[in-house]
């Protein structure tokens, strides 16, 4: 089960629910894979709203690995997802939002 307070999200990918999380290691992996200098550089790249398919594979692959899956970006690219590329983009956007854009004030109080 995903815990938004930890930056986790869950989506059905290839017929099963999967948790994704951009841990510090996953973010470092993304910096390297996308040749970004730092997190600010990643943020600038993502905020432009223009992502290549390889960007989506890198983001989603890093998120799956950050949540504990052993999967390569090539294997991510072979997964089936209802809704096609727009659904892949939604997953990447939700993952980035959970990691960067979800402030404490936006999260429900667990009381």
Q: What is the mean pLDDT of each run of 10 residues along the chain (111 residues)?
A: 87 95 94 91 83 92 96 94 92 91 50 43
pLDDT of residue 110: 45
pLDDT of residue 22: 95
What is d(CA 33, CA 54) in angstroms, rounded to the nearest whole number?
10
Domain assignment of residue 46, yes or no:
yes
Domain assignment of residue 73, yes or no:
yes
Domain assignment of residue 111, yes or no:
no
pLDDT of residue 47: 82
Longest dimension (CA), the chain: 42
**Residue 97 sits in which domain range?**
4-102
Domain assignment of residue 107, yes or no:
no
Predicted TM-score (pTM) of the model is 0.85
Domain assignment of residue 31, yes or no:
yes
Alpha carbon 100 to its chain centroid, in Å, reads 11
- How many domains are contained in the chain? 1
CB atoms within 10 A of CB 31: 16
Domain assignment of residue 71, yes or no:
yes
Domain assignment of residue 63, yes or no:
yes
Domain assignment of residue 110, yes or no:
no
CA atoms within 13 A on the CB side of 82: 5
């Amino acid at each position: 089960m995903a815990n938004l307070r930890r930056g986790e999200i869950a989506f059905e990918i290839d017929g099963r629910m999967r948790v994704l999380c951009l841990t510090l290691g996953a973010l470092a992996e993304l910096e390297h894979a996308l040749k970004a200098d730092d997190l600010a550089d990643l943020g600038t790249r993502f905020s432009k709203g223009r992502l290549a398919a390889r960007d989506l594979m890198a983001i989603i692959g890093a998120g799956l690995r950050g949540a504990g899956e052993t999967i390569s970006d090539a294997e991510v690219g072979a997964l089936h997802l209802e809704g096609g590329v727009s659904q892949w983009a939604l997953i990447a956007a939700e993952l980035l939002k959970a990691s960067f854009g979800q402030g404490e004030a936006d999260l429900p109080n667990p009381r």
